[in-house]
Every structure is written in structure tokens, then in C-alpha cells.
Amino acid sequence: NSYTLTLMVLYFLCHTGAVPYITPAPQRVDQLPPMPEYQPNRKGGGDMPWEEVHQRLAQFLEFYAAWPPGAVVSLVHPPASAPLAKADMDGLTVAADQFCVQDPFLLDFNTARNISSMTWRGIKKCFAKAAVLVKEDPAALFRPLPPKADPWRSLR
């Protein structure tokens, strides 16, 4: 789901130092400062550093393609050189070979609970292949896919 993918991206960016890790601090919601007013991007789309985007995407795909079994994606603890093991996580009960992304708000909840170990192995293989594609041909990200054949044509 998109929440799990967002947590994975944030973990990756913190792990690689692209964004700083901020230690969560419990606060009362009524004491938080007001949200700043939305400021649209004034630079325009032409200033996007596409080469860096391609590099980061390939690194993200490689990072999770090599994700070790028994490790947890967790933003509750600062990303270390090696991911935390499930055994080190208090209250988080997950099968040994299941992919696990810890919800930073419900600490005993795996947001990736619907991804079986077999499905995760398939996803990792796809990530590895996609990383190669992004490195070899970054423009492929923007090419439209060929149209699919009509599956009902033979029945007409």
C-alpha cells in the first residue's frame, strides 16, 4: 500500500543520509505550532535534477532488492548501518521470513502484513531487474507502455 511504500522511501532516504533522521518526540497535538501556509514550487518543472532522481531510484530499488530476511523497516529507531532484526523489536510479532515495515504510530503493527514471504521474494526480484533498467536506460521511465492485446478478440 502507499503508506508502506512511503515509510520505505523515508527509511531509505534517512539511511542514505539524503534527509536527516528526526527522533520522534511525543507531543500534545494542541501544543504543536500551526501548519505553515502552503508555498507552491516556484522553480517550475524544468529545474528537476533528473539524473539524481534516476540515481536515487536505482539505489532505492537495489537497497530493497538486497533487504535481508528477518530485518525490519523502522523509523522509530535511527537507521543504522544494518537494519534492525525482528527479534530486537519489542511487541512486534511477525513470521521470521515475512517482510516487515513497522508503523511508527502503532509500534506492534506491520504495515506490510499482507505481503507474504513468497510475494516479497518476487518483489525483490522485480526491484533488482528494475534497478538495472533504470541504470541502463533512464529514459525508459517516461516511455509509454505498448498497448495490451485485447483478450476478448479471439472470442468474438
More confident of the two residues 87 and 123: 123
Q: Which of 57, 55, 58, 66 is nearest to 124 (CA)?
A: 66
Q: Which of 110, 70, 81, 118 is nearest to 93 (CA)?
A: 110
- State the total domains in the chain: 1
Q: Which domain holds residue 113?
A: 2-22+48-139
Q: What is the average per-residue pLDDT within 117-131?
A: 93
> Mean pLDDT across the chain, nearest whole number?
81
- Is residue 18, in this structure, part of any structural domain at all? yes
- Is residue 83, in this structure, part of any structural domain at all? yes
- Is residue 89, in this structure, part of any structural domain at all? yes
- Is residue 81, in this structure, part of any structural domain at all? yes
pLDDT tens-digit readout, 19-40: 888 776 666 666 767 777 776 6
